[in-house]
């Protein structure tokens, strides 16, 4: 008998990869939750016999409950790093999780899987990390069986971060705050999606665990860009930009224009990731792809776009 999986944030870059990976498993049925027709249009092709799309707003408790009815698990992918005038951290990163918890409880869902962020902490002074930490607390205190996966930058999907990395790898000159000395530990979107699916489809897999699910290598951002560039036979010049200057400019921008690219976002982007990848990979039953394979896949996706 097929297991039904509800996916919130299905139109995100990671969500699209997750749907594609789930369709490779014949024992999985999908319910893709989106908020609008434009979001639905971003989804990959879904076979009607194994998947359906539900348009529902986070404020619609009854609609969310109905969408999750019969699902074994609910995967929550929704969230933002950069605020806008219309969408703030509390709304996107906390209240959506609160709604997901309520829907999962009401629908009798067995497992809730939350994709969070490295550095999430409800006591953090950084509003992004704090919002992610508060969301994790909602899940841990929900009474549901759960798995929380804290992730670094995700490559191997059609995201804004991947587009920026590919653009920098192909540029002649790349200005980077601090010269790109911050450590990145990117994970392949396919590995992340497979780990999410393994956790979601088994109540025992990573049961009630909070895992740092990172890639196999921790390297400086500048080296990440240069490794990608070498795959394209490019050799960009990395130009260091003082981090304090970048934060000062963004602070002024925020004061003048309001929410957006802020000093707090730069703090997140320049934070170091140097973690042991093995515990999470083992708990989730995943063999991590080599970083060069992930970079090559990312470049190929952008070339095909």
pLDDT given at position 2? 79
Q: Within its chain, how far is the Cα of 129 from the centroid? A: 14
pLDDT, one tens digit per residue, over 156-206 is 999 998 999 999 999 999 999 999 999 999 999 999 999 999 999 999 999
Instruction: Collapse the DSSP code of 210 into the 3-class scheme (helix H, G, I; strand E, B; otherwise coil) and give the result.
Output: strand
Helix (H) or strand (E) holding 38: helix 37-41
Tokens of 81: 């790093």
Could you report the per-residue pLDDT of 58-71, keeping only the tens digit for each?
Answer: 999 999 999 999 99
Nearest CA to 108 among 147, 170, 75, 65?
65
Helix (H, G, I), strand (E, B) or coil at 268: helix
Domains of the chain from N-terminus onward: 3-157+187-217+273-290 (3.40.50.720)
pLDDT tens-digit map of 230-247: 999 999 999 999 999 999
- Backbone phi and psi for residue 9, each to the nearest 5 degrees, phi listed first: 85, 30
């Amino acid at each position: 008998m097929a297991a039904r999986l509800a996916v919130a944030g299905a139109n995100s870059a990671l969500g699209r990869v997750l749907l594609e990976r789930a369709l490779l498993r014949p024992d999985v049925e999908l319910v893709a939750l989106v908020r609008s027709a434009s979001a639905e249009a971003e989804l990959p092709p879904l076979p009607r016999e194994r998947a359906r799309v539900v348009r529902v707003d986070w404020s619609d408790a009854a609609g969310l409950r109905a969408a999750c009815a019969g699902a074994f698990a609910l995967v929550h992918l929704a969230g933002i790093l950069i605020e806008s005038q219309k969408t703030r951290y509390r709304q996107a990163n906390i209240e959506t999780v609160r709604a997901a918890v309520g829907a999962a409880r009401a629908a009798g869902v067995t497992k809730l899987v939350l994709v969070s962020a490295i550095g999430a902490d409800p006591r953090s002074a950084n509003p992004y990390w704090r919002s992610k930490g508060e969301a994790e607390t909602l899940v841990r205190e929900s009474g549901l069986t759960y798995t929380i996966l804290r992730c670094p930058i995700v490559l191997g999907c059609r995201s804004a971060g991947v587009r920026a990395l590919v653009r920098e790898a192909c540029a002649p000159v790349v200005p980077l705050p601090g010269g790109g000395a911050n450590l990145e530990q990117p994970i392949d979107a396919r590995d992340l999606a497979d780990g999410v699916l393994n956790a979601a489809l088994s109540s025992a897999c990573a049961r009630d665990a909070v895992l740092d699910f990172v890639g196999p290598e921790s390297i400086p951002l500048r080296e990440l860009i240069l490794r990608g560039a070498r795959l394209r036979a490019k050799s960009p010049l990395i130009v260091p930009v003082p981090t304090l200057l970048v934060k000062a400019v963004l602070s002024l921008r925020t004061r003048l224009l309001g929410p957006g690219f802020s000093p707090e976002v730069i703090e997140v982007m320049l934070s170091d990731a140097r973690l042991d990848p093995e515990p999470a990979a083992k708990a989730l039953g995943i063999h991590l792809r080599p970083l060069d394979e992930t970079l090559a896949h990312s470049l190929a996706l952008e070339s095909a776009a």
